[in-house]
Structure 1
Amino acid sequence: MGVLHKHTDTELLVCLRQGDGAAFDELYRRYAKKLMAFSRTFFFDQHLAEEAVQVVFVRIWERRHKLDASKSFKSYLFQAAKHYMYNHVRNRKKECCLDEAAGQVELAGQQRETELAYQELEDLAMELINNLPKVQQEVFKLNKLDGMNSEQIALQMNLSKRTIEHHIYLATKTLKKSLLQYPSFQVMFVLGINFGIIG
Structure 2
Amino acid sequence: MNNHLLIVQIKKKDTVAFKRCYDLFFKDLVVYANRYLSDFSVSEDVVQEVFVYIWEHSKKIEIKSSLKSYLFVMVKNRCLNHLKSINITDNEDYLKYSQSLIDEVEVSSLTEDNNGLYLKVLEVVDKMPLNMQEIFKLKFIENYKYIEIAEELNISLNTVKTQLKRAKVKIKESLVVSVFYLIIINFFA
TM range (shorter): 0.3 to 0.5
Q: Which has the larger radius of gyration?
A: 2
TM-score (norm 1): 0.44
- For normalisation by structure 2, the TM-score amounts to 0.46
The structure, 1 or 2, with the larger RCO (C-alpha pairs under 8 Å, 6+ apart) is 1
